[in-house]
Amino acid sequence: MSFFGTLEKRGESLAKERFPEIEEAPQSRRLAWEKELLGIYVSGHPLEKYQKKITHYLANSIYDLSGMRDREKIRIVGVITTIIQKKDRKGKRMAFFTLEDLESEIEVVVFSSLYEEYASYIKEGGLVLVKGKLDTASTPPKVIAQEVLPFSRIKDVTHNLHINLKEDRLEKEKLVRLKEILCSYKGKHNTYLHFSNKGGEETIIRSKSIKVGFTDSLISEVEDLLGSKSLWLSED
């Protein structure tokens, strides 16, 4: 038997060998591996699929914080990448963590007075909403946290739906359809209609009869009717 003949038979044997099918890891896990092994996300970013919701909530992008004033109130959404826990002078725990969005990253400080309340949400890889104040006196600037919540709870702190209506593009049929959509998603949240004219003047009307419940379907239907930047959500 020749050497090449032996190789051929072994090759045939390997070809017939059946290997178990392994289910592909979910994207969230693959991204976590990339970050752990390479230090960067390669095949995507954990925030990409939530970007539309983040935009609706009017969260600040980390990159844009550079143009804001010291102690200005901000709210940012991002992924926690690194965490450092320390003790303050009284021996109470506090934390510093790096928050990363699609454009940049910033350090967030959680003082001991708040740490215990939010500690369960401060985990590497966690997607969180941070509300706080910008500290530009530090180099580089930091965020002093006042609240840290999992992004999944963003609807819990959102109370109002705002809809932008340009008077020069208004049609009776659209208004009738808009009312039908809103009435089909009854809930407890206020609805504000922002009417703007060509001169840039805006009139804001709060509907006394329509209160809605926030769902992805509601947002999609309103945007299909009025356009992709026709609504946003707010806390107050």
Question: What's residue 159's pLDDT?
Answer: 87
Question: What's residue 31's pLDDT?
Answer: 58
Q: 61 or 200: whose pLDDT is higher?
A: 61
CB 115 within 8 A of CB 123: no
Residue 32: exposure state from Cβ atoms within 10 A (0-12, 13-18, ≥19): middle
- CB < 8 Å & 24+ apart, contacts of 221-228: 221/181, 222/163, 222/178, 222/181, 222/182, 225/174, 225/177, 225/178, 225/181, 226/163, 226/164, 226/165, 226/174, 226/178
End-to-end, the C-alpha distance of the chain in Å comes to: 84
199 has a pLDDT exceeding 90: no
CA-based max dimension of the chain: 92
CB 154 within 8 A of CB 57: yes
Separation of alpha carbons 67 and 209, rounded Å: 40
pLDDT tens digits for range 164-193: 998 767 788 999 999 999 999 999 999 999
User: Which residues are CB-contacts of 31 (< 8 A; sequence separation ≥ 6)?
Assistant: 41, 43, 44, 45, 46
Give the mean model confidence (pLDDT) for residues 8-17: 53
CA distances from 61 to 116, 126, 156 (A): 27, 17, 21
Report residue 188 CA to chain centroid gap. Answer: 23
Single-letter code of the amino acid located at 206: R
Domain 48-154 falls under CATH 2.40.50.140: yes
Q: What is the pTM of this model?
A: 0.72
pLDDT tens digits for range 208-230: 999 999 888 999 999 999 988 89
The CATH 3.40.1350 domain(s) of the chain lie at: 158-234
Separation of alpha carbons 166 and 196, rounded Å: 5
Separation of alpha carbons 84 and 36, rounded Å: 17
Report residue 78 CA to chain centroid gap. Answer: 6
The CATH 2.40.50.140 domain(s) of the chain lie at: 48-154
Question: CATH assignment of 158-234?
Answer: 3.40.1350
162 has a pLDDT exceeding 60: yes
Separation of alpha carbons 99 and 110, rounded Å: 12
